[in-house]
């Protein structure tokens, strides 16, 4: 299988971490989104949305990172997706929450503080930073409460943990503060201790050098 991605991005990072966790070998193709490579015609033919990552498995082309990690888990038959209907729904709930709440909040701040600087798009918009920071604090308080008495987001290690950790691991880079959310901090420390997450993180750093 071939993965087209930009290793530093959280959505690419989550796929790499899950693949490493499951022992699935992927051929990686670097797509430099900072230089507009995801808008090239050849890439748009794979994903008309112009976003990474994209997975190719033979003639099957799959985009959307959460769909990709679900696909990898299904091929492997892993415990990262529980067997019961309620337990699966709980994992899907948090995958959806990441897309609907966490990603938009962090993306606002990341764009203003990181992406603009890297791509020369001007000065940060403080109003956008403030809005994203407030949204981040609000949604992270939700996760913090949900982690009460739990080691992992749904009780035991699942795809939801990898999807969320890929975003939370980057929050210090954006200047977002996790300290008020002690359960989230402890959970993230457990996730970052995993060799699969560490490898994905190292890939991301290497891609920026």
Alpha carbon separation from 6 to 37, 61, 92, 121 (Å, rounded) = 10, 17, 24, 20
Instruction: List, in order, residues 6 or more apart from 102 with CB less than 8 Å away.
Output: 136, 139, 140, 143, 164, 167, 168
Contact at 8 Å (CB) between 25 and 48?
no
Intervals of CATH 1.20.1050.10 along the chain: 85-194
What pLDDT tens digit does each residue of the chain (209 aa) get?
A: 999 999 999 999 999 999 999 999 999 999 999 899 999 999 999 999 999 999 999 999 999 999 999 999 999 888 899 999 999 999 999 999 999 999 999 999 999 999 898 888 999 999 999 999 999 999 999 999 999 999 999 999 999 999 999 999 999 999 999 999 999 999 999 999 999 999 999 999 998 88
Query: Which CATH topology does 85-194 take?
Result: Glutathione S-transferase Yfyf (Class Pi); Chain A, domain 2 (1.20.1050)
Query: Which CATH topology does 2-79+199-207 take?
Result: Glutaredoxin (3.40.30)
Question: pTM to 2 decimals?
Answer: 0.95
pLDDT in tens, 185-197: 999 999 999 999 9
Contact at 8 Å (CB) between 137 and 180?
yes
């Amino acid at each position: 299988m071939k993965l087209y991605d930009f290793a530093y991005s959280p959505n690419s990072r989550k796929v790499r971490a899950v693949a490493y966790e499951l022992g699935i070998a992927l051929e990686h193709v670097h797509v430099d989104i900072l230089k507009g490579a995801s808008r090239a015609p050849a890439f748009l033919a794979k994903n008309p949305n112009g976003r990474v990552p994209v997975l190719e498995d033979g003639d099957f082309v799959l985009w959307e990172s959460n769909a990709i990690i679900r696909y990898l888990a299904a091929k492997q038959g892993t415990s990262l997706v529980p067997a019961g209907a309620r337990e699966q729904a709980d994992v899907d709930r948090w995958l959806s929450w990441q897309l609907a709440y966490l990603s938009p909040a962090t993306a606002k701040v990341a764009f203003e503080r990181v992406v603009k600087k890297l791509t020369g798009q001007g000065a940060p918009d403080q109003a956008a930073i403030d809005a994203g920071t407030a949204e981040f604090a609000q949604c992270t308080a939700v996760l913090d409460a949900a982690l009460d008495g739990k080691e992992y987001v749904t009780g035991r290690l699942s795809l939801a943990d990898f999807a969320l950790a890929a975003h939370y691991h980057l929050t210090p880079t954006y200047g977002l503060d996790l300290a008020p959310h002690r359960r989230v901090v402890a959970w993230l420390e457990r996730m970052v201790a995993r060799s699969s997450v560490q490898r994905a993180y190292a890939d991301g750093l290497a891609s920026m050098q």
